[in-house]
Amino acid sequence: MTDPAAKDFVILGGGTAGWMAACLLANQWRGRGATVTLIESKEIGIIGVGEGSTPQLKAFFDRLGIAEREWMPACDATYKNGISFHGWSNRPGYESYFHPFPAPIDNHTAAKFFYNTRARRTGRDVDAHPDRFFLPALLAATEKAPIAPEHFPFEPTYGYHFDAHKVGAFLADHATENLGVRHIEGRVENVERADNGDIAALITEDRSRIAGNFFLDCSGFRAILFNGALDEPFLPFSDNLFNDSAVVMPTTRADQTRLPSQTKATALSAGWVWDIPLTTRSGNGYVYSSSHIDAEAAECELRQHLGVGDTGEARHLKMRVGRVRNSWSHNALAIGLSQGFLEPLEATALHIVIATVEQFIGSFEAGDFTPEHRDSFNADIAARYEGIRDYIVCHYKVNRREDAAGIDYWAANRANQNLSDDLKSVLTSWYTGGDLTAEISRLGIGKYYSAISWHSLLAGYGTFPDDAKITPPGDDIVIHDVSEIQRFLDRCALNFDDHAQALSVFD
């Protein structure tokens, strides 16, 4: 009897999403007779941005059995402790904060952080800035790598920065050389449908017919299968998230003697700019709302921010922000930018790619390679998008930045009432002095962003009563000695190497 896994998978698109999907599917099922074919058009090319990750990328490489020493140097990759936000709040003492990836060592300090933020929310003068409570903030501030030595029993959780083109090429080599993925170059012009509406084959410009049992749409913002053939509705998030454009410009790192271990997200007049440190350069991009600033002014502001004058070439991109209604439709799965995109503030796109493919693998196997679990899969993926979206929206909703003259961007974000019920509940709990950790657990949203992330965001912008309403803590408040926590973190950090030095082991 044929193994039900012995399916022919066809992937349309050879960007990061396509090659990640190819690796995961071939790794899982090639031993059971599955074939994976990937077709891409070099002429169309890839988007070539997306250079920061969450810890999901580490799990991805671990799953494929690829060591850091194999892929990191090949992709100019660096370690990422998290993201620091600058200029999103004008409240003194809260001009910047760091968003850490949650890790087991947080158990030593998180409860104190939650306690202090709640006390400050109710007007007590206690230190509640997230940077004082978590090890990754200190590792990032001191440019250390999140790699624990053998004698230190707590592994930080971390992501990476990398060159998007090089990661795609690395995965393409791995998929074709080690996992038996067939690679075809060509431009798909037509899609052949079966009587039941399934996709039967992709037809290229030279009339080649690529048939399969299951198809993955990894064709980027073009969404050739989902937008075109399957006509799956796209649900925009433009009411919640205003940014729809980006201008991108790599630069040489200003100070070659230093290698940051964090992404920097700095607010500008109609959006924010990322600074992603690679071993060879910095990746920079201004993500903005075209309703508030035009492309020329955005490029000018980015150049000014980077201090590069007229030198270097900038690339302009439009972003389609939202998601397809169903990521799995008929015998096809949308992955990557064809599936949806939340703006890159929390660098979640590749995270969603990996999570979607892994969940698909689980659902397809559980249903004996039939669409039995398609509806629940689609509901889960939709909830994931919305859970992540809410966290990103919250950054804008609680911002405390002044608008530049003539640009009503930050105030408009603060005034935006298009908030989901879950986000309203989070904010109500925060503003009324409620137990936010319990509320996040009640809402079931902690799997998208943890209680530490939510508390860090809200506390990090100084979302507390005005200074005039803050009073000294009374006897009912337990005083957590923040200098004691600082000493604990300082001693932990002594175990970690300087970032550049940690990467030199790959030389």
Ligand X SMILES: Cc1cc2nc3c(=O)[nH]c(=O)nc-3n(C[C@H](O)[C@H](O)[C@H](O)COP(=O)(O)OP(=O)(O)OC[C@H]3O[C@@H](n4cnc5c(N)ncnc54)[C@H](O)[C@@H]3O)c2cc1C
What span, in angstroms and rounded, lies between the C-alpha atoms of 81 and 160? 8
CA-only gyration radius of the chain, Å: 23
Task: Pick the stretch among 50-58, 69-77, 108-116, 499-507 that binds ligand X (CB under 6 A).
Answer: 50-58
Answer for the pair 296, 268: CB distance below 8 angstroms, yes or no.
Answer: no
Cβ 163 to ligand X shortest distance, Å = 12
User: Is residue 404 close enough to count as binding ligand X by CB under 6 A?
Assistant: no
Phi, psi angle pair for 326, to nearest 5° = -120, 125
Indicate the angle between helix axes 451-460 and 110-121, nearest 10 degrees. 40
Sort 4 into a burial class: Cβ within 10 Å, 0-12 / 13-18 / 19+: middle
Answer for the pair 113, 128: CB distance below 8 angstroms, yes or no.
Answer: yes
User: Is residue 100 close enough to count as binding ligand X by CB under 6 A?
Assistant: no
The one-character DSSP state at 89 is: B
Cβ 161 to ligand X shortest distance, Å = 8
Cβ 484 to ligand X shortest distance, Å = 36
What span, in angstroms and rounded, lies between the C-alpha atoms of 308 and 387? 37
User: Is residue 203 close enough to count as binding ligand X by CB under 6 A?
Assistant: no
Task: Pick the stretch among 78-86, 141-149, 343-351, 367-375 that binds ligand X (CB under 6 A).
Answer: 343-351
Nearest to 348 by CA among 96, 159, 485: 159
User: Is residue 244 close enough to count as binding ligand X by CB under 6 A?
Assistant: no
The one-character DSSP state at 43 is: T
Q: 506: how many CB neighbours lie within 10 A of its CB?
A: 15
Cβ 320 to ligand X shortest distance, Å = 9
Strand 271-277's sheet: what is its strand order? 96-100, 82-86, 263-268, 271-277, 282-288, 245-248, 315-318
User: Is residue 52 close enough to count as binding ligand X by CB under 6 A?
Assistant: yes
Cβ 264 to ligand X shortest distance, Å = 12
Residues in 21-40 that interact with ligand X by CB under 6 A: 39-40
Q: 404: how many CB neighbours lie within 10 A of its CB?
A: 15
Answer for the pair 498, 139: CB distance below 8 angstroms, yes or no.
Answer: no
Cβ 253 to ligand X shortest distance, Å = 17
Work out which of 11, 13, 181, 356 binds ligand X, going by CB under 6 A. Answer: 13
Work out which of 37, 51, 135, 229 binds ligand X, going by CB under 6 A. Answer: 51
What span, in angstroms and rounded, lies between the C-alpha atoms of 258 and 277? 10
User: Is residue 350 close enough to count as binding ligand X by CB under 6 A?
Assistant: yes
Answer for the pair 362, 249: CB distance below 8 angstroms, yes or no.
Answer: no
Q: Site map for ligand X, 312-341, x if CB under 6 A? A: -----x-x----------------xx----
State which residue, 164 or 298, has the beta carbon closest to ligand X.
164
User: Is residue 59 close enough to count as binding ligand X by CB under 6 A?
Assistant: no
Q: Which of 80, 112, 144, 264 is catalytic?
A: 80
Q: 53: how many CB neighbours lie within 10 A of its CB?
A: 24
Task: Pick the stretch among 9-17, 112-120, 145-153, 374-382 that binds ligand X (CB under 6 A).
Answer: 9-17
State which residue, 191 or 436, has the beta carbon closest to ligand X.
191
User: Is residue 250 close enough to count as binding ligand X by CB under 6 A?
Assistant: no
Work out which of 156, 212, 277, 344 binds ligand X, going by CB under 6 A. Answer: 344
State which residue, 285 or 460, has the beta carbon closest to ligand X.
285
What span, in angstroms and rounded, lies between the C-alpha atoms of 217 and 369? 18
State which residue, 112 or 320, has the beta carbon closest to ligand X.
320
Work out which of 230, 267, 347, 393 binds ligand X, going by CB under 6 A. Answer: 347
Cβ 149 to ligand X shortest distance, Å = 29
Nearest to 189 by CA among 221, 229, 220, 216: 229
Is 112 a residue of the active site?
no
Task: Pick the stretch among 72-80, 84-92, 289-297, 344-352 that binds ligand X (CB under 6 A).
Answer: 344-352
What span, in angstroms and rounded, lies between the C-alpha atoms of 265 and 444? 28
Residues found in the chain: 507
The tokens for 254 are 């200003």
User: Is residue 345 close enough to count as binding ligand X by CB under 6 A?
Assistant: no
Chain positions contacting ligand X, by CB under 6 A: 12-18, 39-41, 44-47, 49-53, 164, 187-188, 218-220, 222, 224, 246, 285, 287, 317, 319, 336-337, 344, 347, 349-350
Catalytic residues: 80
